[in-house]
Amino acid sequence: MYNAKAVTIGIIIFVILFTSPFWASLLGKNYTESGITLPAREKECVESAEFMRNKHMQLLNEWRDEALRNEHRVYVASNGKKWAISLQNTCLKCHKEYTEFCDKCHVANSVDPYCWTCHLIPQGSKK
């Protein structure tokens, strides 16, 4: 091998950069579960658990538009049940533990929702 010094340095830099997902991960903590606490008493959410997990942010966005832009405050769930469109009075009524619920996933996955730019910052939240 010619220019061995420069090439070796190049190879080392390459390997370090492109294995970074592994060592960056190993340097920190592991993440084996989201660790959210579900409300103890309430068993039913507005939609199914799977729907809520994947798409709650889209639902909340929709609710905001309905309530604030269309002044329409009733949500009809896919099973026909009616819910009042309200973050404070519907969602947070059951999900009281912000740090144990919202923040658990949001912080770990670096999601920074802008709910609290308008709504009151729930007590105990990171914000």
Chain residues binding another protein by CB under 8 A are 1-4, 7, 10-11, 14-15, 18-22, 24-34, 36, 53-55, 57-58, 60-61, 104-105, 107-114
Beta strand residue intervals within 10-104, DSSP E: 74-76, 82-84
80-84 CB contacts, 8 Å cutoff, 24+ apart: 81/46, 83/46
CB count in 10 Å sphere of residue 46: 20
d(CA 3, CA 11): 12
Q: Which residue number, 4 or 40, has a Cβ lying nearer to another protein?
A: 4
Q: Which residue number, 9 or 76, has a Cβ lying nearer to another protein?
A: 9
Least separation in angstroms between residue 94's CB and another protein is 19
Least separation in angstroms between residue 123's CB and another protein is 22
Q: Which residue number, 37 or 109, has a Cβ lying nearer to another protein?
A: 109
